[in-house]
Chain A
Amino acid sequence: MIGTKCETCQKHFFPPRTFCPDCRRSGRIVSHKFAGFGTIVTYTVIHTANEQFEAFTPYVLAIVKLDEGPRMTAQIVCKPDEVKIGLRVKSVFRRIATDGESGIIHYGTKFVLAE
């Protein structure tokens, strides 16, 4: 998980930002590799999905607070009844969706339960 960090205020950004909203033009943005650990802030179980995700329902979607500070939205690879607010999670690189049978396969970050 590669995001960014502002060397002026030490704030981390994932998704990456190229402009620090706090330091503005005095910010110094550099690339930063995240450890990939975080905590579930809130979640839902999606039963009615967008076209590309219809085959995967029900699936767990959550907002994860990364240990470095920023929050992100991602799927949690677990059973719907296993997810809870406050659980520790770890990032994994997974297939996210496919554009039809012969289309592009999208990859990205999901999380698995860390405990």
Chain B
Amino acid sequence: MRAVAVIGAGCTTFGEKWSSGFRELFVEAGALALEDAQLSGEKIDAMYIGNMSAGRFIEQEHIGALIADYAGLATHHIPSTRVEAACASGGLAFRQAVIAVASGMEDIVVAAGVEKMTDVEPGASTDTLTGAADREWEGFVGATFPGLYAMIAQDYMHRYPLTREQLAQVAVKNHYNGARNPIAQYQQEITIETVLKSTMVAEPLRLFDCSPITDGAAAVIVAPLDRAREFTDTPIKVLASAQASDTITLHDRRDISTLDATVAAGKKAFRLAKVTHKDIDMVEVHDCFSIAEICAIEDLGFCRKGEAGKFTADGETALGGKVPVNTSGGLKACGHPVGATGIKQVYEIVQQLRNDAGKRQIENARIGMTHNVGGTGATVAVHILGRV
């Protein structure tokens, strides 16, 4: 297999983007990535697009071709493939692009993600997201996505010493980082009180424990590492790409509070990259809910099970902590345009490794990790990226 590098990365601002349609979002992110790699469109060999549910959000399917067309590549007839794994669609699109280049099948490949979520009413978007769980045996009986993660939180708090304040600190920390990220949906700092006084969504989770509904797109370009310097002075090497699956329902998991797919993909990624936890300078984890970040940092092995609340409250996951988590602001503050999230995580790590992360820059960042979850843990993609 060939070594693979990221040679370009682009991302739209995230938010409720009333003036941009699905196509405009994607074209903007793609153009930024191409510009970043100083690459012209005709050099692209293939595209993989992460998108969860354009069918329900904008009633459009056949996203691969649509995007190739609006990227001005229809007459180039390149393969363009949509990848869907709910909230992990972006992470899997990136992995497919890496596999395509590593295998030698393609050279210059775009991995992108896009979601336009605000064209439907909130009730409809909540219902669409429930499709990431088991529609027949969870959604049908009244489960919502926040409801499922709330049941993880309830189980976790019953078994481990996690306080409501420690859980809120996840959102407080991610808003602090988001306030230092110019593409973030929310660039305001909040306090623990903001979280504790927000509307109850599904007990014990409140509004500020939940990631928002977001429009946005992100794109990265991957190429063989030995060609990377044709396009950039700062290629970022893909040290590991790992993916794992688990039961679609939460109730069938071995342990409600452990995402075994995170454990499996994380272990494999560390093994492939030949690095240890101490080598990771920062990690973007899938904090769709505050409890999800607590589980993620434990399941990836950054602290022991049951200790993530204290670890977070002690500032170990903050900028300057032992392992800064979600320097972008995470899904909570940067926003969560579902299919784009996995690519945005890679984008953020690339910014950090190139020393381009501005006010949220981690000093001497050399190796970073991304962790993207589909559903309540039925799909997980973990990537490790490093400076060359």
Point out residues on A near B: beta carbons under 8 Å: 15, 41-54, 56, 59, 61-63, 70-75, 80, 85, 96-97, 106, 108-110
22 A-B interface contacts by CB (under 8 A):
A41-B251, A41-B256, A42-B151, A42-B158, A43-B154, A44-B150, A44-B203, A45-B203, A46-B144, A46-B147, A46-B150, A48-B146, A50-B130, A54-B123, A61-B141, A72-B137, A73-B141, A75-B142, A85-B154, A106-B140, A108-B140, A109-B141
Q: Count CB-based A-B contacts (< 8 Å).
A: 101
By Cβ-Cβ distance, the 4 closest A-B pairs, closest first, are A44-B150, A42-B155, A51-B123, A71-B251
> Chain A interface secondary structure, helix, strand, loop or mixed?
strand
B158 touches A51 (CB 8 A): no
B199 touches A47 (CB 8 A): yes
Docked complex Cα distance between A81 and B361 (Å)? 46
In the bound complex, residues from chain B placing their C-beta under 8 Å from that of A75 are 141-142
In the bound complex, residues from chain A placing their C-beta under 8 Å from that of B365 are none
Centre residue among B126, B154, B200, B201 by max chain A CB count within 10 A: B154
Docked complex Cα distance between A61 and B133 (Å)? 15
B182 is an interface residue with CB less than 8 A from chain A:
no
B58 is an interface residue with CB less than 8 A from chain A:
no
B136 touches A42 (CB 8 A): no
Docked complex Cα distance between A88 and B124 (Å)? 34
A59 touches B199 (CB 8 A): no
Docked complex Cα distance between A45 and B203 (Å)? 5
> Beyond A15-B136, A41-B155, A85-B158, is A56–B201 a contact (Cβ under 8 Å)?
no
B250 touches A47 (CB 8 A): no
